[in-house]
Structure 1
Amino acid sequence: MGALLPTSLIAGELTQYQASYDILRKGKNHGEAVRELKKVGEQTYQLTYHSNIEWMIFSDKREETSVFTYLDDKVTPHHYNMVRTGTGPDKDYKIDFDTQNKVVTSSTSKYPLKCEWTDEFQDAISYQVQVREGLRKGETTFSFPLVDKKGNRRDYNFEVTGTEMISLPIGNIEAIKVKRLYDNDKRQALAWFAPEMDYMLVRMWKGEKGVEQFEVQMNSFTVTQPVSTPASSTENTEASAEAP
């Protein structure tokens, strides 16, 4: 296992990184994914998630992007975009959160979406950053209102169920296990976050009626240098969690 990672390289800023994952089904590799977080402006970050899955005659390639601000430990999304191609209908849509006028707009509608505004809104991937910040502060339950492309509000609820030592391509890691709470027991979703790796998402598992749909495991992780790091602290700004 590589060097342990700092909780942040600069106080009040998010750690910028690039992480790669294997996408598995029943223990066999059927794809790959890359998650990257970088700072793009004053208190503004961009989170991207690329995935490519091939399974029998099924294929799914998608890219999600979230642009958000981070201030006082709070993630506030502004722009979300998802492009998906593969088996079945292709998808391409954008959602904008106008914090000044307190409205949500979508590329699928020429009018603002009919959803009551809340400052707690997250998009389909920004909430994962907020979960990490909550775990860092010791929180054990989370609830986030999201808006889908049709303008429907969807509440995502999670709870911490404990800690586990898990085995991944990057080594054995002690991780916090988080369970998504659904309205029924038909679907299951679990995620593992590693405190020693700045609470990074290191594993995901999704199932339906107890049957695995897919599993995601981190296979490499690199911290990248923040753009505002002073010259005096530029040494050793990369830490790799790749297996030796």
Structure 2
Amino acid sequence: MPFLTINPFQLKAQPTQKNKKYSALLIGLSAVFSSSLFASELVPYRAEYDVLRKGEILGNAIRELSKISNDTYSLNYESDIEWMIFTDQRTESSLFTYHDKIPKSLLYTLNTKGTLPDKSYKIRFDRENKQLFKSDEKYPINADWNEKRQDVLSYQIALRNDVKAGKTKMSYPIVDKNGNVRSYDFEVIGTEAITLPIGNVETIKVKRLYDNNKRQAVAWLAPAYHYSVVQMFKGKDGVEQFMIQLKSFDAEQLAE
């Protein structure tokens, strides 16, 4: 979920897979979402979520982690949301390598359709030449190279690793969908037992830290589900924009 990746809906949106909605992305959010870790490997999984606003289901979202080769993975997100006359459909993907529990982004893509104009974004990490490229543009982004820099999905792998390791404050250098360099900052604020469509779950609460108090984003990560996000809240000026809740989870291995 960008939660933060995420890139959340700008008005009253929410992620989904069959149904639609009005604005932007999760991440998070677009909006923090799942991953699972065993030794130095990631465990492929598929997670499905209900997307709600004020208790009303507006659609659903899917996050899926796939292994492409020995050290290369793909984290994918799909949503299809509907709210009144507004619709929002999107697909988002991060291709990255993974060594020593560190993700290194190679390619990020985002495509949107719906009430708002259709858009397509691409960020390519040319690690050999230490350059960043936006969409299919010929010239690189004017930004200093930083090996630790992530896209708005790949950082979520690092976030879960850090939460699993017991860290309570985390910060990640990010290149967003527009090619802007930013910092995503988080803090663990406690634990909580919650009830979801998938059942009762023990969770760790993680809050995204913003420059001001206008925006709010909180994610609940569950050790039983490989420290994936099982619930997320996104708000602005104290008003709920959306809530997502886990309804199914399939992984190739059980949690530790």
d(CA) in 1 for partners of 2:204, 2:183 = 22
Q: 1:177 aligns with which of 182, 187, 205?
A: 205
> What is aligned with 1:31?
59
Letter of the structure 1 residue corresponding to residue 134 of structure 2: S
Q: Which of the numbers 60, 67, 75 marks the counterpart of 1:47?
A: 75
Q: CA deviation at 1:109?
A: 3.0
Q: TM-score, normalised by structure 2?
A: 0.83
| Contact 1:63–1:82 (Cα < 8 Å) also in 2 | yes
How far apart are residue 34 of structure 1 and its match? 0.7
- Aligned partner of 1:105 in structure 2 is 133
CA distance in 2 between partners of 1:141 and 1:15 (Å): 24
Aligned residues: 220
Within 5 Å, give how 1:63-212 maps onto structure 2: 63-107=91-135, 109-212=137-240
For residues 104-127 of structure 1, what are the alpha-carbon distances to aligned partners after superposition, in whole Å with 9 as ceiling and x for unaligned?
Answer: 001163210011111111111111
Kindly state the Cα deviation for residue 167 of structure 1 after the two structures are TM-superposed: 0.9
Q: Residues 143-193 of structure 1: CA distance to partner in whole angstroms, max 9, x if unpaired?
A: 111112433211110010010111100111110000000000000011110
| Higher mean displacement: 101-110 or 153-162 | 101-110
- One-letter code aligned to 1:37: L
Structure 2, gaps ≥5 residues long = 1-35
For 1:117, what is the secondary structure of its paired residue? coil
Alpha-carbon offset, residue 13 of structure 1: 0.8
Residues 180-239 of structure 1, C-alpha deviations (whole Å, 9 max, x = no match): 000000000111100122111111110000100001100000013xxxxxxxxxxxx5x6
RMSD: 1.5
Identity of aligned residues (%): 52
Higher Rg of the two aligned structures: 1
Letter in 1 for 2:76: T
1:23 aligned partner, one-letter code: V
SS in 2 for 1:41: coil
Aligned-partner SS, 1:172: strand
Range that drifts further, 140-149 or 51-60: 140-149
Cα distance, 1:73 vs structure 2: 1.0
